[in-house]
Structure 1
Amino acid sequence: MALLLRLTLLFSLVLLAGCSGLFFYPQKELLQTPDNQGLEYEDVVLTHDDGLELHGWWLPAATESPKGTVYFLHGNAQNISTHLMNVHWLPAQGYHVFLLDYRGFGRSEGKPRLPEVLEDVQLGLDWLRNAERVQGPLIVFGQSLGGALTAGVMGREQNQGQGDCVILEAAFTGYQDIMKEVMASSWLL
């Protein structure tokens, strides 16, 4: 009986550890760069205290007087190269744009796990807070998973009042709802 209990516990732990992996669908290969869209850009590397590096793109506004800065957080699949089309038009409209790949996505190191991905979003927000190039209002724009991450990070007490505008597009109501949907289509069940 004790052996059966241990095996059940071990199986449950392995299953739970794998759930985070089922939640994210990162793609390492970049399919395009802002160059392909005729956009000026700069590669940005942010480093966590433990040395893990995250990759992002800074797209400067194409106007002399920027209207603001947009921090764009993408969904749970692919990487910033496939989500660029959501914001490629903003520099021409006078907005700086910062796109960040979470750990395990694109050129960012590591493996995506939910608590750590929230810290990736926080690192990007902290970088923007201290970047001299940020001008005008800070707009935090999260799409799908990025919307849920945006809500989670911007809702922290330390971030109250840090964004002038928060946009949540196609954000979901909770991680449990998404996990139910993902698990329903998984071979595990």
Structure 2
Amino acid sequence: MSQSIAAFWEFTRGLATVCAEVGTIGCRLLYYGQNYLIYPSAFPPESRTEVPTPDMYGLHYEGVELKTEDGVLLRCYLLTQRKEVVHRFALQIPVNDEMSDDEFAATRPTVLMFHGNGGNLGHRIPLARVFYNEMRCNVFMLSYRGYGDSEGRPSESRLCIDAQTALDYILAHANLRGPPIILYGQSLGGAVAIHLASRNPSKIHALILENTFTSFPQVIPHATPIPSPFTILCHQKWDSASKLPLIPRETPILMLSGERDEVVPPQHMTELWEIASRRQGTTVDSRDGNGGAPVGSGEPNGEPNSEVGNARSRFVKFPDGYHNNTFMQMDYWHAVKEFVASLCS
């Protein structure tokens, strides 16, 4: 009998040891392997091997190779404006006949695009085309390291380096450094944009943010419920809630939120808007995506503020917008065009 008890306890100790070791290994895999989950650069399949180019959409572009401070090669796209853009919705701008294409480009704002955590920059060319053709903006499309044809491996600190490298390139470009610089970020790209603007407060003129989050750990329980108990192990923070107040209140921000977002709860955008409103001490034109009446503001009582400071910031909600199709919703591009036009005026 005593031998049976001893054997049982020996088995129990062995099982506990194995479980502890498996748990330790699992935690290490979650900690050190989480970048493969957070930055799925190979999804959809062939995203690392098949990268569309702007000329496939009838756009003139320049392939730009950037070398980061840590020696990683990024392969990006630059679309600079030309005097003549053949498009039925193109913004008509009076142009001096003696002005060159380069001189014209130097009069137009530049949109620096940051895409989400899946796919590659080529998948976002249709969005760039709207900025280029219909708003007559220069467009720089950044390819993060580890995405598309860019070298390296992504992480929070490394993507921040990539974003700074792209901005530095624009600021050194003869035709781009003078006009306003607008950051456009979707989902993860919104967090990249907020970080870059917080580090370069005098260089960024405006931000356009779509379906982004307050911080990455706070979105894990909703986006990936299974590993949510291990959120404490997440070292990719992307803490936009703490960085947003560092952006000057004079910097206009357009926030675009899909109310049916199944990945990032819309509450994240609402919280970011409230933070932005406190930062600005201003204003709201918070409307639904169908041109309806105001649906709320940064003020507790829901009433629009008086026009103090920057009154050009807006928070637009799209009732039928999901995480990946908000840009297809009615009035999405109308809101963006109005915002860009207000910057140019």
TM-score (norm 2): 0.50
- CA deviation profile, 1:33-75 (whole Å, cap 9, x unmatched): 1111110001111112332101110011133423211101111
Q: Aligned with 2:203: secondary structure?
A: coil
Instruction: Return 5+ residue gaps in structure 2 as ranges.
Output: 1-12, 42-46, 84-100, 231-345
Do structure 1's residue 132 and structure 2's residue 147 form an aligned pair? no
Paired position in structure 1 for 2:95: none
Q: 1:76–1:145: 8 Å Cα contact kept in structure 2? A: yes
Q: Match of 1:96, as an amino acid?
A: N
Q: What's the secondary structure of 1:45's corresponding residue? A: strand
Which portions of structure 1, spanning 4 or more consecutive aligned residues, are displaced by more than 3 angstroms? Answer: 3-11
Shift of 1:8: 4.1
| Contact 1:44/1:56 (8 A) holds in 2 | yes
How many residues are paired up? 185
Counterpart position of 1:108:
150
* Counterparts in 2 of 1:130 and 1:112: CA distance versus 1, 3 Å: same
Does the 8 Å contact 1:61/1:90 carry over to 2? no
Contact 1:62 1:91 in 2 (8 A): no
| Per-residue CA distance 1:101-127 (angstroms, 9 max, x = gap) | 111110111121122112111111121
Paired AA for residue 168 in structure 2: D
Match runs of 1:8-87 below 5 Å: 8-26=23-41, 27-63=47-83, 64=101, 65-66=104-105, 67-87=108-128
Partner Cα distance (2:160, 2:70) in 1 = 15
Q: What displacement does 1:89 show?
A: 2.3
Q: Is the CA contact (8 Å cut-off) linking 1:73 and 1:146 kept in structure 2?
A: yes
Contact 1:45 1:54 (C-alpha < 8 Å) held by counterparts:
yes
Deviations 1:115-170 (A, max 9, x none): 211211111112111111204111111111101111122112xx111111111122
The answer for the alignment partner of 1:146 in structure 2 is 189
Which residue of 164, 167, 178 corresponds with 2:219?
178
Give yes or no for contact 1:44–1:58 (8 Å, CA) kept in 2: yes
Contact 2:72 2:152 in 1 (8 A): yes
Give the whole-Å Cα distance in 2 for the aligned partners of 1:104 and 1:150: 18
* CA–CA separation in structure 1 for the residues paired with 2:73 and 2:136: 29
Greater displacement, 62-71 / 99-108: 62-71
Q: State the Cα distance separating 1:98 from its structure 2 match.
A: 0.2
Letter aligned with residue 17 of structure 1: Y
Say if 1:20 and 1:114, in contact at 8 Å, map to a contact too.
Answer: no
Percent identity, aligned pairs only? 29
Q: What is residue 88 of structure 1 aligned with on the other side?
A: 129
**TM-score, structure 1 as length reference:** 0.87
Cα offset, 1:185, TM superposition? 5.9
Cα distance in structure 2, aligned partners of 1:104 and 1:148:
18
Q: Would the aligned equivalents of 2:69 and 2:161 in 1 still touch at CA under 8 Å?
A: no
Shift of 1:31: 4.2
Structure 2 letter corresponding to 1:56: C
Contact 1:70 1:140 in 2 (8 A): yes
Corresponding letter in the other structure for 2:68:
H
Aligned alpha-carbon RMSD (Å): 2.3
Determine if the alignment matches structure 1 residue 167 to structure 2 residue 223. Answer: no
Task: Please give the secondary structure, in 2, of the residue aligned with 1:78.
Answer: coil
